Amino acid sequence: MARGTAESRIISWQGNAVGLLDQTLLPREEKEILCDTLESLWEAIKSLRVRGAPAIGVAAAYGVVLAGELSRAEDPETFAEEVRKGCDYLATSRPTAVNLFWALDRMRAALEGSRGKPVSVQREALLAQARAIEAENNAVCEQLSAHGAKLLAEEARVITHCNAGGLACGNYYGTALGVILKAAESGKRVRVYVDETRPLLQGSRLTAYELLRAGVEATLICDNMAGHVMRTQGVDAVIFGADRIAANGDTANKIGSYSLAVLAKAHGAPLYVAAPISTIDFSLESGAQIPIEERAPAEVTGWQGHPSAPEGVAVYNPAFDVTPAEYITAIICEKGVCYPPFRESLGRLR
Ligand code: MRU
């Protein structure tokens, strides 16, 4: 996302509503929407108007602030109960990105910390916590981007998948894309192959858009071209983000990430996963326990209302897959670069 006013509009608190740049309309239209009910914010998360693990967390945090604003309760306990219900409701929007649950837990803790205090004080505590989550997330993305940039050579051809840029995080750098942006800022020549990322095209619509705006060399490919590109053009690294990382390093990310990881291994290219520590779910032993979101068949059978498959065909539409840790060269986070065995290196981040 271009620096300046644009990224400040990806997610914003508007006093009585959560402002979102509607990512379903990009790249053809930059339109801000206002979610002034929890239902409209839930719908915005579900339908990917705001998407990407860290961005979902920040949006949900402001959603809890909104729940507080909407409550008419004057009694502190009733107010807190209504806000807790708002947290529970927002938690049902999407299952895979753990940042959603991480942010909601922090908001619940802020509520608990102001327990019994007047409603106005509880509202202030919620807003302060949401602002803190946002500010930390912005700092963390820039830090991990700087760590990751050092892993790229002076001249590097990389493949990335989905969108793990500023749009996915509510800031400028994002995670995997931040690694690329920071490397380019430091004078390295980075050429990026952008997987279009079927079925919702986060790669072509969002990543290509962000890279072009940042002036980074980007070439769009269909997902099924990655193997051919690696074999014929040569690729120095694969970099993608994460929605949830288990304690052993198994990583859930956008569907197609696993295939890319297998290809990277077959071609001897390192695979870097870039994600904040808030994306690591230490409660899960392995990726087998990560809930994988399944989405509507219509996302596969057509595009924006135009059918591309016969009516009635059976569809399987998992939104994420899990890349086993053995395919991952390193996991880049705000504290530095973690190498295998990940159970130990990630464990030290707790
Ligand atoms: O379904 P999406 O668009 O929310 O999926 C997003 C991804 O898979 C991203 O790669 C991931 O959330 C990392 S974002 C920094």
pLDDT value at residue 8: 60
Ligand 1 contact, 48 CB (< 6 A): yes
pLDDT value at residue 304: 87
Assigned domain for 107 exists? yes
How far CA 132 is from CA of 91, 103, 136, 139, in Å, comes to 20, 11, 6, 11
Q: How far is ligand 1, taken at its centre, from the CA of residue 194, in Å?
A: 14
Ligand 1 contact, 195 CB (< 6 A): no
The domain boundary, picked from 90, 121, 142, lies at 142
Residues 281 and 154 both lie in one domain: yes
pLDDT value at residue 7: 59
Residues 196 and 306 both lie in one domain: yes
Contact 242, 206 (CB under 8 A): no
Q: Which residues contact 250 (CB under 8 A, 6 or more apart)?
A: 286, 287, 288, 290, 322, 323, 324, 325
DSSP state of 96: S
Query: Tens digits of per-residue pLDDT, 334-343?
Result: 999 999 999 9
Average pLDDT over residues 162-189: 98
Prediction pTM value = 0.97
pLDDT value at residue 240: 98
pLDDT value at residue 126: 98
Q: How far is ligand 1, taken at its centre, from the CA of residue 162, in Å?
A: 7
Ligand 1 pocket test: which of 51, 160, 320 has the largest number of ligand atoms within 8 Å of its C-beta?
51
**pLDDT above 80 (res 1):** no
Which domain covers residue 89, as residue numbers?
Answer: 6-142
Residue of 217, 161, 238, 216 whose CA lies nearest to 194: 161
Q: pLDDT over 90 for what percent of the chain? A: 97
Neighbours of 117 (CB within 10 A): 15
Average pLDDT over residues 79-106: 98
pLDDT band at 50 (very low <50, low <70, confident <90, very high): very high
Closest Cα to atom 15 of ligand 1: 164
pLDDT band at 5 (very low <50, low <70, confident <90, very high): very low
**pLDDT above 60 (res 329):** yes
- Residue 237, phi-psi category: left (phi > 0), alpha (psi -120 to 50), beta (remainder): beta
pLDDT value at residue 170: 97
243 is catalytic: yes
The domain boundary, picked from 115, 142, 169, lies at 142
Assigned domain for 240 exists? yes
- Give the domain CATH number at 11: 1.20.120.420
Q: How far is ligand 1, taken at its centre, from the CA of residue 141, in Å?
A: 14
Rg (CA), the chain: 20
Residues 221 and 273 both lie in one domain: yes
Contact 181, 145 (CB under 8 A): yes
Query: What is the domain count for the chain?
Result: 2
**Ligand 1 atom, smallest distance to 177 CA:** 15
Residues 50 and 194 both lie in one domain: no
Q: How far is ligand 1, taken at its centre, from the CA of residue 169, in Å?
A: 9
Residues 161 and 179 both lie in one domain: yes
Query: Tens digits of per-residue pLDDT, 190-229?
Result: 999 999 999 999 999 999 999 999 999 999 999 999 999 9
Assigned domain for 69 exists? yes
- Give the domain CATH number at 167: 3.40.50.10470
**pLDDT above 90 (res 168):** yes
Ligand 1 contact, 179 CB (< 6 A): no
Residues 174 and 136 both lie in one domain: no
Q: CA 49, 24, 254 angle in degrees (round to 5)?
A: 80
Q: Which helix (H) or strand (E) holds 89?
A: helix 76-90
Residues 205 and 239 both lie in one domain: yes
Assigned domain for 1 exists? no
CA distance 51 to 66: 19
